[in-house]
Amino acid sequence: METSKIIRHALNFAIKRAQTELALNLPSVSKLFKIAFPLVLGGLILWWMYRDFDWNGLWDALNDGMNWTWMWLSMPFGVLAQVLRAARWRQALEPLDERPRLSSCVHAVFLSYASSLVVPRVGEVLRCGVLKKYDGTSFTKSLGTVVTERMVDSLLMLLLAALTVLLQVKVFMVFFAETGVSFEELAGRFSAAGYWVTAACLLVVLVFLAVLAKRLAWFNHTRNLLRNVVDGVLSLRNVRHVPIYIMYSLGIWASYFLHFYLTFYCFSYTSGLGITAALIAFVVGTFAVLVPTPNGAGPWHFAVKTILVLYGVCESDAVVFVLIVHTLQTLLVILFGLYAAGALAFTRRRCLVGGEDGTE
């Protein structure tokens, strides 16, 4: 009798364990949606843009219609932007008593960009995991510094966008009109009551988030996690050599811009547009990348193409430009992501024994 009970309990335990493992291993609908939606959205936009595209014209442009020298010259700036981002990230971690190797930071950033091509934004979490695995860096602290650098990048981008808009107000107004956005029409649809309702909804959301945060704070694990993230965000106050941090930040965005701007000289129809047109296309394209598609595929193509057309480039040439530039820059990200994965496979994990760091 006792034996049968033991067997029955063992079977029940095995069944429950199997169900748990199955539930953990099967991707949920929400996870599938997060992966599939960006791919479908980007694919639909690209299909709509290139549904009547003459692909023979693309091969002609690749073979005889572009100056490859300028394309090759633009590529190092794409890599430099990622290396500077890794160096800045390492500097932000120092006040938190975290000192990962620069090589680990660089490989983590390379891998994060490549992984974000599959699932947008996943790279920001992945690179923190890489430092945790290979250098023992606190995951939550490194995640907090990632939040910090995103805030810094957003501020710089907003300042650049504001300056660009002030310099070229007419171009942006035409752009918004071409894309179906009318600020006067949107404002006209709001009555006084509408503004009050919107404000009330925002207030309710903020109160809900505050209550939720307080409830989560009862759990020690969550409280510690949030504290580490906050420490990471506030680490910017204690960053050593602030001028260097600022130079890193400016260098990142200067490299991004040169990575894009030099490609204008690859084609006869964009080489004469000038740096102002390139800056506007860069700013608009950067905001388009915020749409969650792999590397901004689709929204970036449409936004940059629209700007080029506004500056007088034939639409057939503009779609060729955005397709070639985006594809080659994406291939660069993939190439260095593969390199980083291979390099990490041969990287020794840092072990802390008796207070001494292991070597690479």
Counting Cβ atoms within 10 Å, is residue 69 exposed (0-12), middle (13-18) or buried (19+)?
Answer: exposed
Long-range CB pairs of 126-132 (<8 Å, 24+ gap) are: 130/104, 130/344, 131/100, 131/104, 131/105
- Which pTM value belongs to this model? 0.72
CA–CA separation, 3 and 299 (whole Å) = 65
Q: What is the pLDDT along the chain (360 residues), one digit of tens a residue?
A: 544 454 454 445 444 544 444 444 445 556 666 667 667 777 777 787 777 777 777 777 777 778 899 999 999 999 999 999 999 999 989 888 888 999 999 999 999 999 888 877 788 889 999 999 899 898 888 888 888 888 888 888 888 888 887 777 666 666 566 555 554 554 554 555 555 656 666 676 666 556 655 555 444 545 555 555 565 556 566 777 888 998 999 999 999 999 999 999 999 989 888 888 899 999 988 888 877 777 778 888 888 988 898 888 888 888 889 999 999 999 999 999 999 999 988 888 765 543 444 434
Beta strand pairing call for 356-357 and 352-353? antiparallel
Identify the bridge partners of residue 357 per DSSP, sorted by sequence position.
Answer: 352
Q: Which residues contact 300 (CB under 8 A, 6 or more apart)?
A: 285, 288, 289, 322, 326
Domain ranges of the chain: 44-346
In this structure, what DSSP letter does residue 86 have? H
